[in-house]
Structure 1
Amino acid sequence: MWQVTDQHQLSLGYTHSQRAPQIQELFSDGFHHATRSYELGNADLSKEISNNLDLGYRFNSNWMSAEINLFHNWVSDYIYQQRSATEPVLNTQQAAATFKGFEAQTIFPLMENTYGVLDLTLFGDYTRGRFDNGNDVPRMPPLRYGFQLSYEKDDFSSNLRFTRAEAQNNNYSATDTATQVSETDTKGYLLLNLQAQYRLASFHDSEVMLFAKGKNLLDENIRNSTSYLRNFSPEPSRSAELGLRINY
């Protein structure tokens, strides 16, 4: 980590990690309702080995704070599931893969006075995964970016979050169409969420909160590229939720 000045900071990190296969990745042999598929494990799986490189930059000042992180991960024997072409079977497989992308966030304090605190946050993230044979890794998220307005005053807080997700066209393409299924593209979408909460009471280490949430307010038809069910079921449409939460 390098503290360039009081406002600028650079960081560089390297990690080496290993992950043993999960028990369901090894021995699954049955229908899984959440994926609408028969999942078949692979008892011959070896552990995943990952080498990860991260480069980060941070900026802090009275009028803005910003952070961006770039990453590049090399994973040998990456474990994934691939759908069979002949029947709805998810076969667990392994292959060497590389993942790279970024995460970024910028916060602008717009107001801080007796009327409350108002912040504007700009954000974005992207991940690209490719196997060493040139094919794309299944079920990867698209490029996403947007903004959030956050307001707080005393016991009340709220935020409005708008996200734009681009189309995901970098999908797994079957090399053997007789035994494998290629993934379909997913269209871009706009997601607008609103939530607010008010602290009604607090005593000792407990809090009573009244909250309200509105999700997918634009009522978009959202197909999640990371979902097994994106061709069968979209994400929930416009919805509202009102509730009481007790934290203790």
Structure 2
Amino acid sequence: MKITVIGGTGLIGSQVVRKLTAAGHEALPASPSTGVDVLSGEGLEGALSGADVVVNLANSPTFDAASLDFFRTSMTNVLAAGADAGVRHQVVLSIVGVDQVPGLDYYRAKALQEDLLRQGPTPWSIVRATQFFEFMDATLDMTSDGDIVRLPAARIQPMASVDVVDAVVEVATGAPLLGIRNVAGPDVFLLDELGKLTLELEHDSRTVVTDADAGLFAAISGDELIAGPDARLAPTHYADWVRERH
């Protein structure tokens, strides 16, 4: 099967391409570095030619209101190019709870992307994943001021990117879901407590202070980002993952 992976050189995309290739599929990475621009449409026709499946992992360069235009334009272009190329299955990676946090511009933008996919001309699947383990260091740095890191006590259920990749590959190589596959990590954390655990495991001397107004996740007040009972839980635990990195 020929599968074009939009955003195929990024954190998730590069792993998806490798896993698909190892399984015997023809996986083509499509990104600006390979001459594909999802905003202008440049290179899309060639990248999607002959493709059976498109896995769309393209991401906005910003998390603000501009992300709405990014996903509106890019999704419209990818769907149109896919229809012209005879693609039989369009897959998008999204976020658990993406439609439950209207106060976050980026989440509204991803929800818009999902809506466009549902309304598009091609059978589709959505994989909704929770936050990635790999983003925890950036989350700490984003709200760090010297030796103090400010984080809200938001409830999250993060997972390893390798487990996200497994979910994306499984869906991409199967029949279109015409629905949503939710995947999540095996453990639920308060973000401030996860920050403390991370600093401890990484022997980082910074101190976490709980601040309900700090950072991107200040908009989370309940269980919006926690997977429901239908979710498939990934096997990798956060502490094990951190220890394996060091």
TM-score by length of 2: 0.30
Structure with the larger strand share: 1
Q: 1 or 2 for the larger relative contact order (CA 8 Å, sep ≥6)? A: 2
TM-score by length of 1: 0.30
